[in-house]
Amino acid sequence: MGKFREIFRSKTIRIPLKPGTSLLSLLEELSRMIGADLRSEFIGPDGKPMEDASLIIVNGRVADLSRIGEYLVNPGDKVVFSPSVAGGG
């Protein structure tokens, strides 16, 4: 979505995934594939999640970025990288 579509230059990417891969490992693999640091889009230099800037949604649920190394994804999971959306009124 948004800036991530520009980063990946595609709406959808399919990659092989081992069962029980951590979300952090997935980010690192994607970073290598595209030659960009995706981790910095979600985790700040202080190691704290930047959920006010970007979200990761796995199978329709927002992932807890403070546990990104423990959050596991599996083959067939749908992972969406999204800029945070704020607003209303």
Distance CA(12)–CA(28), nearest Å, equals 17
DSSP annotation of 50 reads: -
Distance CA(55)–CA(83), nearest Å, equals 6
Amino acid at 53: A
Q: Which of 41-45, 64-68, 71-75, 81-85 shows the lowest per-residue confidence on average (mean pLDDT)?
A: 81-85
Out of 3.90.550.10, 3.10.20.30, 3.30.70.890, 3.20.20.220, which CATH number does the structure's domain 3-83 have?
3.10.20.30
Q: Which uninterrupted H or E stretch holds 58?
A: strand 54-58
Classify the C-alpha dihedral 68-37-13-51 as positive or negative: positive
Which pLDDT score, from 0 to 100, does residue 21 have?
A: 94
pTM of the entire predicted model: 0.77
pLDDT tens per residue across span 5-61:
666 666 777 888 899 999 999 989 888 888 888 888 888 888 888 877 788 999 999
